[in-house]
Amino acid sequence: MLAALVTEWGQPPVYTDVPEPQPRDGAEVAVVEASALTNLTRALVSGKHYASKEIALPAIPGVDGVVRLADGRRIYTGAVGYSGMMAQRAVVDPRGGIDVPEHVDSVTAAALPNPGISAWTALSHAAAVKPGDHVLVLGATGVTGSMAVQLATSMFGAENVVAVGRNTDRLAWLRSAGAHATITLGAGDLSAEVSEMHAQRPFDAVLDYLWGEPAAQVLTGLTASHPAAHYHPTRFVQIGSMAGPTLPLDAGVLRSTGITLRGVGIGSVPLTVMAQARTEALPELFQMVADGRLELRTQPRALADVAEVWAGGEPSGIRVVLTP
């Protein structure tokens, strides 16, 4: 069969013939209909991700996707072992799959779980956002950040959501999709703007998809606010590092405020929470997309173009989805 194949760490996959996958231990071979090209998928086969050690090359990338089972059912699921989802067929365990509603197409269904589950987990578990909260989303114009802004308002009832990002068109759209205010990165003093907002009304949670210098500026801004805000508990949740893997931060930031830091990723979220996200949250997210209450922009591309799209990066706010 034809598949994307990575043979060297950090190199783009090639579209080539590979051996047919074989069923095993209750898992079956299913026809792949769509698999999203996510930052996680790229990172795992870069060799630099903390979970890369679990992968042996050569490997077919694609941690999840939508498949058609032998009985005709269409499910969202993850791949089993070497047989990744960026292929014509993959080995999957039907018992762990989530049925895809008929009114949701396979491309959308493949694109939704990664940002949807990530945003839901960050909001529900790590940030513990509740109705009436004041939330800041750093890196809001990306796919997952945009999802978090929408869900913070529509699903979790946040009273005030501030979206921070570089793409001004996306920020303008987010004002109509759940954000109550926006901050454009690079257009002013981020630390000062955050400080002013935090002084007026303390942030209860910050969802950070950037890290690096922008995160350092936000943390500094939270510290520089009026003293009355220092003792307000602000849950700073680290999710992505698009602006860099490290940041310069004065130790006094954490000693002088009520900020707590935690991350969301592989290994930092209990399996029970991840199971709840898949079985309870994901079906609701599918329904929200179908009803138009949640927007997710996608760009379908042929699997044969995998090397080109891999090297080209992800368009702002758009999830690329590969179809065999």
Residue 84's pLDDT is 87
Which residue in this structure is represented by tokens 């008929």? 102
Q: Which two structure tokens, joined as six digits, stand for 227? A: 């003293």
| 269 domain residue, yes or no | no
Do residues 126 and 229 both lie within one domain? Answer: yes
- Among residues 219, 241, 263, the one where a domain terminates is 263
Residue 235 phi/psi, 5° resolution? -90, 110
| 286 domain residue, yes or no | no
Residue 64's pLDDT is 92
Do residues 256 and 310 both lie within one domain? Answer: no
Of 158, 181, 175, 233, which Cα lies nearest the Cα of 202? 233
Residue 296's pLDDT is 95
CATH number of 241's domain = 3.40.50.720
DSSP 87: B
C-alpha to C-alpha distance for 183 and 198, rounded to whole angstroms: 13
Do residues 103 and 157 both lie within one domain? Answer: no
| 13 domain residue, yes or no | yes
Q: By residue range, what is the domain housing residue 53?
A: 2-112+297-323
Q: Three-class SS of residue 165?
A: strand
Do residues 190 and 216 both lie within one domain? Answer: yes
> From its phi and psi, is residue 309 left (phi > 0), alpha (psi between -120 and 50) or beta?
alpha
User: Using an 8 Å Cβ cutoff, are 76 and 98 in contact?
Assistant: yes
By DSSP bridging, strand 28-36 and strand 64-68 are antiparallel
C-beta neighbour count of 226 within 10 angstroms: 12
Do residues 253 and 130 both lie within one domain? Answer: yes
| 87 domain residue, yes or no | yes
Residue 253's pLDDT is 84
Residue 25's pLDDT is 80
Do residues 129 and 257 both lie within one domain? Answer: yes
- pTM for the whole structure: 0.88
By DSSP bridging, strand 160-165 and strand 181-184 are parallel
- Among residues 213, 243, 263, the one where a domain terminates is 263
Q: Which two structure tokens, joined as six digits, stand for 264? A: 């969301």
Residue 63's pLDDT is 87
How many structural domains comprise the chain? 2
**End-to-end CA gap in the chain:** 10
Do residues 24 and 43 both lie within one domain? Answer: yes
Which residue in this structure is represented by tokens 């209990």? 270
Do residues 91 and 201 both lie within one domain? Answer: no
- Among residues 212, 247, 263, the one where a domain terminates is 263
Residue 226's pLDDT is 62
CATH number of 58's domain = 3.90.180.10
**In a structure prediction context, what are the per-residue pLDDT tens digits for the chain, which is 324 residues long?**
999 999 988 889 999 999 998 888 888 999 999 999 988 888 888 776 777 666 778 989 998 999 999 999 999 998 776 568 999 999 998 888 999 999 999 999 999 999 999 999 999 999 999 999 999 999 999 999 999 999 999 999 999 999 999 999 999 999 999 999 999 999 989 999 999 999 999 999 999 999 999 999 999 999 987 665 567 899 999 999 989 999 988 888 888 888 999 999 878 888 888 888 888 899 999 999 999 999 999 999 999 999 999 988 778 789 999 999
| 290 domain residue, yes or no | no
Residue 57's pLDDT is 84
C-alpha to C-alpha distance for 62 and 131, rounded to whole angstroms: 36
Do residues 133 and 247 both lie within one domain? Answer: yes
| 242 domain residue, yes or no | yes
Residue 144 phi/psi, 5° resolution? -75, -35
| 273 domain residue, yes or no | no
| 288 domain residue, yes or no | no
Do residues 245 and 123 both lie within one domain? Answer: yes
Residue 53's pLDDT is 66
Do residues 189 and 120 both lie within one domain? Answer: yes
Do residues 130 and 101 both lie within one domain? Answer: no
